[in-house]
Amino acid sequence: MTRSLAPSFFRNKNKSKFCRHLDFISFKPKALFKYVNLKKSKNEISESVELNRALDNDFNLGTLEIKTNDFSINTNSQLIMARKLIKRCQIRRKY
């Protein structure tokens, strides 16, 4: 995961598919304890992407593609809206 164009973008312009990554990260208690006790990985430090620590330490990760509009949470009103949406989230009920 990177915050900039990946080197493969320049090598394979027509072959690469890039997606915007927005996330909320949840851990099971055991995994969270392991994660917080790991040192920051080189990729986490160089890219400033915390999830790289999990990737670099072979955590099993799940993801899904969502085809709806997204938004950032930068204000209190956006946080309130996010909390309402999370309560209705079908995926959240699986955890």
Q: Summarize pLDDT for 12-52 with one digit per residue, the tens.
A: 665 556 666 677 778 889 999 999 999 999 999 988 888 99
Q: What is the pTM of this model?
A: 0.58
Cα 69 from chain centre: 16
- Residue 44 burial (CB < 10 Å; 0-12/13-18/19+)? buried
Q: Where are the alpha helices (DSSP H) in 1-95?
A: 7-11, 29-36, 42-47, 51-56, 76-88
**For the chain, how many helices (H) and strands (E)?**
5, 0
The residue extents of the domains of the chain are: 7-94
Kindly report, residue by residue over 39-94, the tens digit of the pLDDT.
Answer: 999 999 988 888 999 999 999 888 777 776 666 777 888 889 888 888 887 776 66
